[in-house]
Amino acid sequence: MQPIARKLWDEYAPELARLEILTGVDSAAFRLMAEHFGFAVQAAKQLQAEGLTVETPKEGVKKNPLAQIFKDNSLAFKSYAAEFGLTPSARTRLKMAPEAEQLSLAEQLFQAVAQTVEVVDDE
């Protein structure tokens, strides 16, 4: 498992298990969600470093393929996250009691990207 995926797992799995949302039979789906999160963050970091476009010998300037990798993994992550009640709308459907104010996983993804931009800008 990627380090960022492992971090997400370590941070959220215990609480979801405590709330009886994550059980042993859900671990594969939760792992896939964490991996998609990791790939989306990795693609976002590379996209920040390389830019939104790339130049190829045959096609000239075109959209960086990393943008599609980011999009695909973000959408897959969001789909899994909703299944586990990790988005605001999904939590209302699960009728979970709001506990301590916490960023959704999607918000964390964009926060991680923003932090990457800050690091790249500072260099």
DSSP sequence for 61-89: EEE-HHHHHHHHHHHHHHHHHHHTT-SHH
Separation between Cα atoms, residue 22 and residue 28, nearest integer Å: 10
For residue 91, the model assigns a pLDDT of 78
Confidence at residue 53, expressed as pLDDT on a 0 to 100 scale = 93
Question: Given a cut of 80, is residue 6 above it in pLDDT?
Answer: yes
pTM of the model: 0.72
Determine the pLDDT at residue 66.
Answer: 96
pLDDT of residue 89: 82
Structure tokens at 56: 């190829």
CA dihedral in degrees (37, 41, 44, 45; nearest 10)? -170
What are the E-state strand segments in the chain? 53-56, 60-63
53-56 vs 60-63, strand pairing mode: antiparallel
Contact 81, 109 (CB under 8 A): no
pLDDT in tens, 68-118: 999 999 999 999 999 898 888 887 776 544 454 566 777 777 777 777 666
